[in-house]
Amino acid sequence: MARHGGRFVPPSVPRRAALVLPLAAQAPDPVAAVMARLAAVREVRASFVEDKDLPELDRPLTSRGLLSWRAPDRLEKRTLEPAPELFLVEGDTLTLERPERGIRETLSLDTAPEIRPLVEALRATLAGDLATLRRYHEVTFSGTPQRWRLLLVPLSVRARAAVQRIVLEGEEGFMSTVETQGSDGRSRLVATRLP
């Protein structure tokens, strides 16, 4: 289970833990603190560099582009090179556009149970929505609210077959790296905040 609040509740004394828990909930919980900071950011833009490592390839594929987040639910990933692509999640709708290939697809997240956890891993984190995040992932926190790390493991077996874990890192209210480990290989996205 999640180890958040571990610093205040030593695992060796469960009985005392039960007594202390109401107090602990009032104490500054670092996950809650991070989530509160993320939730406070209504809009943010960043550039990104993503490296994908696939087992069938002998070197990583690199792509660059822009990210933008607008609360409560709009996340856009616009790849500029090597091939332009728009990946947009807003509400329940996911849109994927690849103008060079003439591809434009929309799909409803409700109908894609294997995609939803991957979308919510990023979106619920950016929104500071811990409840939604925990609906789809087992969440493990480490670090401090100033420099944090979240380890997400999908709860659904089907989603876990494709993606085994996602590691998010950030400073204060900004998420700066996303690392995904899947059966398809590994990918690492590094974001740099734009003014």
Partner 1 sequence: MKRVAALLLVLAALAGAFALAMRVVEVRADIADFLPEPATPEAAFLLQELRSGAATTLLLAGIEGAPAADLARISRSVARAMVESGAFSLVANGSAVVGDEEAAVLFAHRYALSPAATPEAFAEPALRGALEGVLDGLRSSAAPLVRRFAFADPTGAFLAMLRAWAGEARVATENGVWMVDGRALLVAQTRASGLDTESQAQAVATIRQAYDAAAPPPGTRLLVSGPGVFAAEAAATVRADVALVSKLSLVLVGAFLLWRYRSPMMLAVVALPLSVGTLAALLVVGAVFGHVHAAAIGFGITMLGVCDDYPLLLVTNRAPGESPRETARRIWPTLRLAAAAAVAGLTPMLASGFPGLAQLGLFAATGLVGAALATRFLLPPLLPPEGLFVRPLPERLAHLLLRLPARRGPVLVLLAGVAVALALAGGPRMERDLAALSPVPEPVRALDEQLRGQVGAPDVRVVLALRAPDAEGALRAAEATAARLMASGTVAAIDHPARFLPSVATQRIRIAALPDAATVAQRLEAARNGLPFRAAAFQPFLDGIEDARRLPPLTPADLGALPTLAARLSPLLRQEGQGWRALLLPSGIRDMDALRAAAAAVPGLLLVDFKAETGALLDQGIKEALKWGGVGALLVLVLLGAGRGLTGGLRIALSLAGALLLTFAILAALGERIGVFHLTAALLLAGVGMDYALFMSRSGEESTEDAARALGSVISCMVTTLLTFGLLALCATPVLHATGLTVTVGVASAFLLACALAPRRAGTR
Q: Which residues bind partner 1 (CB under 8 A)?
A: 52, 54-59, 61, 63, 77, 79, 82-83, 85, 87, 91-93, 96, 98, 101, 105-108, 110-111, 162, 182, 184
Q: Compute φ and ψ for 181, nearest 5 degrees.
A: -115, 115
Q: Tokens in use for 141?
A: 């926190």
User: Which one, 85 or 120, has the nearer CB to partner 1?
Assistant: 85
Minimum gap (Å) between residue 174 Cβ and partner 1: 22
Q: For the chain, how long is the longest CA-to-CA vector?
A: 62
**Alpha carbons 29 and 145: distance in angstroms, whole number:** 9
75 contacts 93 by C-beta, under 8 angstroms: no
Minimum gap (Å) between residue 11 Cβ and partner 1: 37
Minimum gap (Å) between residue 148 Cβ and partner 1: 26
Minimum gap (Å) between residue 25 Cβ and partner 1: 37
Minimum gap (Å) between residue 35 Cβ and partner 1: 26
**Alpha carbons 80 and 59: distance in angstroms, whole number:** 20
User: Which one, 33 or 88, has the nearer CB to partner 1?
Assistant: 88
Residue 111 has what DSSP assignment? Answer: G
Q: Which residues contact 102 (CB under 8 A, 6 or more apart)?
A: none
User: Which one, 93 or 144, has the nearer CB to partner 1?
Assistant: 93
138 contacts 155 by C-beta, under 8 angstroms: yes
User: Which one, 63 or 125, has the nearer CB to partner 1?
Assistant: 63
Q: Tokens in use for 32?
A: 């809650």
User: Which one, 141 or 180, has the nearer CB to partner 1?
Assistant: 180
